[in-house]
């Protein structure tokens, strides 16, 4: 049986969606034999990006969506995760006790790219380690 090499899930950008998307990603990573330490790093970084997307992408009265895409490639063992929304990315001034998400993401991910040409898309790449 072939293991799935791609995951795509789209949900309404509501707080409960973050947990559902994290669980779907964890199941995908488990089914592909990704080791527990790597899974924790990926889930933590992606969780931060999802929280930012859900909290900041849309005006309070606008209902939008957030999409999670994950791919595993064996060419250079790598896991790519995209978090995509239809909102506008806003750089914010630092606030006390806030703003640690990007630091967490940058620590866990090999690379992070943000594309704001059509909504906001964040691509995170991680080295793949199989159990």
Q: Measuring CA to CA, how many Å separate 26 from each of 19, 57, 87? A: 10, 24, 25
Residue 94 is part of a domain; what is its CATH number?
3.30.565.10
Q: What is the pLDDT of residue 28?
A: 96
Q: How many residues does the chain have?
A: 131
Q: Is the separation of the CB atoms in 54 and 15 below 8 Å?
A: yes
Full domain range(s) for residue 99: 6-127
Looking at the domain assignment, is residue 63 inside a domain?
yes
Note the pLDDT tens digit of each residue in 98-120.
Answer: 566 777 888 888 999 999 888 89
Note the pLDDT tens digit of each residue in 79-93.
Answer: 999 999 998 766 666
When divided into structural domains, the chain yields a total of 1
Looking at the domain assignment, is residue 121 inside a domain?
yes
Looking at the domain assignment, is residue 46 inside a domain?
yes
Looking at the domain assignment, is residue 69 inside a domain?
yes
Residue 97: strand, helix, or coil: coil
Query: Quick one: residue 83, left, alpha or beta (phi over 0 = left, psi -120 to 50 = alpha)?
Result: beta
Looking at the domain assignment, is residue 1 inside a domain?
no
Q: Quote the pTM value.
A: 0.84
């Amino acid at each position: 049986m072939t293991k799935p090499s791609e995951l795509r899930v789209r949900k309404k950008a509501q707080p409960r969606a973050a947990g559902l998307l994290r669980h779907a990603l964890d199941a995908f990573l488990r089914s592909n034999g990704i080791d527990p330490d790597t899974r924790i790093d990926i889930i933590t970084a992606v969780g931060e990006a999802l929280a930012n997307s859900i909290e900041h992408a849309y005006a309070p009265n606008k209902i939008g969506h957030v999409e999670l895409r994950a791919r595993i490639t064996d060419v250079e063992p790598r896991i790519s995760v995209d978090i995509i929304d239809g909102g506008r990315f806003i750089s914010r001034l630092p606030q006390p006790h806030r703003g640690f998400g990007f630091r967490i993401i940058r620590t866990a991910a090999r690379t992070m790219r943000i594309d704001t040409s059509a909504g906001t898309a964040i691509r995170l790449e991680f080295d793949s380690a199989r159990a």
